[in-house]
Chain A
Amino acid sequence: MDKEVYTQCFMCSIRCPIKVTVENGEVSFIEGNPHVSGMEGSLCPKGAAGKALVDDSQRVQGPMIRTGPRGSGQWRRASWEEALDYVAHRLKTITDQYGGKSVALTERAQLSTHVSKTFLRALGSPNYLSHDALCKGSMNTACRSLFGYTDGQIGMDYSNTRHLVLYGRNIFESIQVKPVRQIVEAMNRGAKLTYIDPRVTVTASKAHRYWMIRPGTDLALNYALMHVIFEERLFDANFLERWVTGLNELRSFVSSYTPEWAAEETGIPAEEIVRFARELGRDKPRVIFHMGYRGAHQVNEIHLRRSILLLNVLMGSVETPGGIFIKKGPGVAGGKPARKLTEQEGLPKPEAPRLDKVGTPEFPLPDPNHGAPQMLPRAVLNQEPYPVKALFAFRFDPLMSMPDTNETKQALEELDLVVSIDIQHSDIAWYSDVVLPESTYLERMDSPQQANSLKPQIFLRQQTLSPRYDTLPGPIILRELARRLGLEQYFPYSSMEELVRWQLEPTGFTLEDFRAKGFLAYTDKQHFWDRESGLAFKTPSGKIECVSSLLEDAGFSSFPPYESPESGESPERFRMVVGRCAQHTHVSTQNNPYLNELVPENTLWINQRAAGELGIKDGDLVRISSDQHSGSIRAKVTEFIHPECVFLLHGFGHESQLAERSFNKGVSDAALMKNVSDPVGGSPGLHETFVTVRPLP
């Protein structure tokens, strides 16, 4: 029987609305939800490969319990009953001895994150660690330092912008479907695109202005831009007067950062910097300095992110069409959001400090809702602040997603229990004690998504197919574990449908309301606040704080002096820069039959002059080494990358032999990286590692 289901993609974390056509119990077609403005059929290659994921026999087909040493690949299949009993029993032993806080759960935040958080809180653990911090923790902190809102609460109105500025935000390869469509349409109507990156990406090749900046010097460029904006009074004076504090301090701070100084630092000519500032000044306030997608490059990341946001502030492009805006929730239209399990009365709030020390005086500012997962290995190894003995890795691979895989492996050795809840034979699954397979996004219903924006909406992932293998939805797996531990009172459901109905109660919507289109709108009109009287910033002053009370009260300077990033020193030493392509998501799609076919492994981009000096030719196999790891990889010799850095795609070099297509293909960037962090913002510095590159004999 044919049917059409309106649901949400999950090949990456964007959750694009999709329409799936099912024939004879199989997916026959997936397209963007035609009812959603800006989707209307569009889908990225990963979304289009959803059927290949569901049909793949190389995904976890049922619960598995390890029988040999960790990482030996020796397993036995188990029933759900046995696997869940086993995990619950081991978990009970651990929490009896070390307390609930000895359990950590790492996760790529998702629709049912509230269930994971409830599970941990019920156990008595504060240790929820989300991928978000690795990706953009410092961006989150930067946004809070200026506006009092997190990055997730701030949106960008691409459709109406006149000029979009991207700092390494390679949006045409690291695709979000709706924004890409909006940007392309805006460009077709005359909007300008400026792209700044040490490497020529597809986005660079579509830009009106591309600058091959010296790696790690974007902050210098931004201070010089602010310098020119103040010098030439290119700012939005009315907006600054009404809504911004600390401008004198900012002006005086950037006074020594001239375009000539920045030209030396960045390699971008001074006159071009000045011309650019003037152009933006003319187009304001319909300009967007994109705050970034991944904000985890340098250990001073927070100041780069703050500088980008400050440029928006100076241009007055805040809460205005064509600029950045604060996302509005259902309340703006008199509606109510779906409730979450974490809102239940009586759910314990563990008082122990977090294992990553987020929220303590040692690491005060990162968002405790996400934590700082890169701190996990050292916390485990040093038993500091306390012993951590059990790890749940829920659709998140600490081995490939966090810097320094070897150190993470050492930490795994200290754990008494490692459990993966995963769809894939990921590397962490390979090194786990038990693998609890989750049903794919097409085989399960999920918690509703509150999509806050100028027009708040609510989306639902509806189940499209029956599970092909012996898998369960994550919230059912966690509920079943909780039940075995006597904690079922916090999980008032026995099916996803019951959970979703419970969640929807306050909204006034029913499950059935989602059948027709997969989403419901709270309003049909865009909600901007009034720029004269209605901007509700959540800072202590109620204004945008250039001198941030969040930072200063924690003992950090809002404007520390600029420090020039290190160069390579010797001809064979390079800063390692990483990124994405359109065909893969993080570390999770490299084994997908269709996506693997298009991009099966990563290569090492190296500047042709630098390569020439080392005797490396295009296509040569080269040795790439850091203090952490080394591997061999094919060189892509090109003039389209800055000579101080090399580049490789993230997410290759998989170790799990059960994922046969991606096993041992390419080199893992995470293994090469050193684990250092921005002590203020909370992100790891993923571009702080230097590697040596040598030809292989």
Chain B
Amino acid sequence: MLGRDTILSSLDSFRFPEVVQEHSRFRNPIAKYRLNRNNNCIACGKCVEICPYGVHIMRRGQVFVENHYLCVGNDCTEPCVEACPEHALSMLKNPDFDSIGDLRWTPDLLASTWYMAEFAVSPPAGLEYKRGASGGGFDKLRLVFKSPKTIQKELQDKEVDVSVVLNRRNDNAHRVRIQVPFYGGGMSYGSVSITTMLSRIKAAAALGTFCCTGEGGYPDELKPYDDHVITQVATGLFGVREETIQRVKIVEFKYAQGAKPGLGGHLLGDKVTPGVARMREAVVGYPLFSPFPFHSVYSVEDHKKHVDWIKAINPKALVAVKVSTPTDVDMVAVGSYYAGAHIIHLDGSYGGTGAAPDIAKKNIAMPIEYAVPKVHRFLKEEGVRGRITVIASGGIRTPHDVAKVIALGADAVCTGTADLVALECIRCHNCESGRGCARGIATTDAELMDLIDLEWGAQRIVNMFLAWRRELIQILKKLGMKSLPELVGRTDCLVHLDHMKESV
């Protein structure tokens, strides 16, 4: 764990955690390809010898396909199927693979995130790890890298800095710098298990960044990580106490959530276990509603009163304001700035949730790709862009999404679903039903929670983000940039495939 001074100090003294490979919790990782070996195999070991990915292994004189999931399929330069002298191998697409994921989180994106969580690098081939298949927004945007000739000098990895300053008001609040351009979005105690919560927060601490508690209180287990916790004040005020607000460096007001903008939260009765009920000061087994909106806020002036209240309780705290993305999101952002917020956090409509009406997820408010440039432009015109940090969330799945949204005008991002995918979330969309997540991530069921080991969980998330960081450094290098602030709002580094003019 890092001390209070470490995160405030410069980049040089910060040490990123070591990579420790963490294999899937499940016996059979879901593979894109399947290799079949027939009886013609003479166990010559040719496949074991040539496969660069460790798919085949030799054990007691016999050859087995041990790691289907590492096979890169048709991208392979040394296909074992062709090299096999006995034609004993055949390769086909695994039907399981098409049954997982969706257009935003394609099977490829899920599998590549699992790969990053295991090995801390992007997959070498075989998987599209840069974008999804939603047919718009990030999935239609491309980063434009000019030819290497135009970049004067190639940078070294260590010359590239991906840290981000969160306090730009230069007031009395903490001078917080995060070492990576992302922090963990709010997931409440109750919507996810304590192990999931701790895994995310431990990973955030190791990476020199933060993770938000969500609206469900601040469990005591989190205390060792106070310096990396953002505590949330949301409309239900569940678990909000002066003592918890005084304990942290960042306090987040949640006005709305991208997946259900304009609607309240709802924790099903089944998830209100004795622990959850105690934390939220509620009754076991009864559903809990977070209303919408804050019934004490109907104007920007009311909002300022809120911000002042936090600053009175904890004068050193940074105040983050999480809003969703209506048409007038730019007005909301500038209003937040004048109310005294340090961070404006925009949560786009395609963001994650533990449970939301399908009609809200799809139809209310705008995707983050539209909201960020709108807010960036408006804050710039107002002359205050340099004094507030813009955080984007709601559909950030890959390091390429991070780079794209920063080029659109954000300073950094918030992640949520990606963290859970690192813990082997499969996007079955059943977080809310029955005993909760069958894979032990979004559940308070004692038996299911036990499916995750804290050390494993934290390391998987660390690994994934180390892979993201590595990828972001490569992107900046290809853009000829040494730090992220150079990329903010640089829409000239982006092209949208539907609007692109072929150059002559």
Q: Do A and B come from one complex?
A: no
Chain B positions within 8 Å of A, measured between CB atoms, are none
